[in-house]
């Protein structure tokens, strides 16, 4: 018989940084919330790439749109204003949900993202 890990919360780390891309970003946020519900300051940060905020292709009523049809800029910015934690966003110019930018290599886009968050260049 195996006891679920969540019952052994006393063994959980107390300094985590979570991250993910697209649905992985949503999962990272959900895990973060569950951890923080039990241990308020256990998560030091969450990095979300291509966060799927809205349904793909859903018509938006806002004037300004991003190239990512799953994360409308104005909607994300309005949500950030009501968040309790400190937050920042970096928009990769002309990137779609898959972080593809016409006329740029995937490596250059990933390098921009990694340099923005102090990770250096990606190999």
Q: pLDDT tens across 53-94, in order?
A: 877 666 454 334 467 777 878 888 888 888 888 888 888 999
Phi, psi of 47 (to 5 degrees): -105, 120
Any idea where the domains of the chain sit in the sequence?
A: 5-89, 93-122
Tell me what pLDDT residue 107 has.
93
- Inform me whether the pLDDT recorded for 104 exceeds 90: yes
Tell me what pLDDT residue 30 has.
92
Tell me what pLDDT residue 13 has.
63
- DSSP for 28-80 reads HHHHHHHHHHHSTTSEEEEEEES---S-TT-----S---S-TTS-HHHHHHHH
> 27-53, pLDDT tens digit by residue?
999 998 888 888 888 888 898 999 888
Q: Report pTM.
A: 0.66
């Amino acid at each position: 018989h195996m006891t679920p890990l969540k019952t052994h919360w006393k063994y959980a780390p107390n300094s985590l940084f979570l991250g993910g891309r697209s649905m992985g970003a949503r999962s990272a946020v959900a895990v973060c919330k569950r951890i923080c519900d039990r241990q308020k300051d256990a998560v030091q940060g969450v990095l979300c790439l291509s966060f799927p905020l809205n349904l793909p292709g859903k018509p938006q009523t806002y004037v300004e749109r991003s190239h990512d049809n799953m994360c409308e800029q104005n909607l994300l910015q309005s949500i950030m204003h009501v968040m309790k934690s400190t937050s920042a966003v970096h928009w990769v110019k002309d990137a779609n949900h898959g972080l593809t930018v016409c006329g740029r290599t995937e490596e250059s886009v990933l390098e921009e993202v990694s340099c923005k968050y102090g990770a250096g260049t990606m190999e």
